[in-house]
Structure 1
Amino acid sequence: MSEQAQFELFAFWRSSAAFRVRVALNLKGLSAHEQNIDLDAGEQRSAEFLKISPLGSIPALVAKGHEPLTQSLAILEFLDELQPSPPLLPSDLYGRARVRSIASMCAADTHPMVVPRVKKYLQTTGGFDDAAWRAWQIRWLGTGLAAVEERLAGAPETGTFCHGDEPTMADICLASIVAVTRVFKIAIPDVPTIDRIMATCDQHPAFMKADPKRQAGAPG
Structure 2
Amino acid sequence: MRLIEATSKLRTERGELIIEFSKKRYAKDKYEMEKQILKAKLLVEGKLAAKRTKFIKHKNKEKQYVINEVLIEKAKLLLRMRGYYTNIDSTILSNKDIITRYHDLWHVEQAFRIAKSDLASRPVFHYKNQAVRAHILICFTALMFSKFLEIKTKLPIRQIIDGIWNVTDAKLFNKVTSTTISLQSEITSKSKNIIDLLDKSLSY
Instruction: Quickly name the TM-score band, shorter chain normalised.
Output: under 0.3
Which one scores higher on RCO, CA 8 angstroms, separation ≥ 6?
A: 1
TM-score by length of 1: 0.21
- Larger % of strand: which? 2
TM-score by length of 2: 0.23
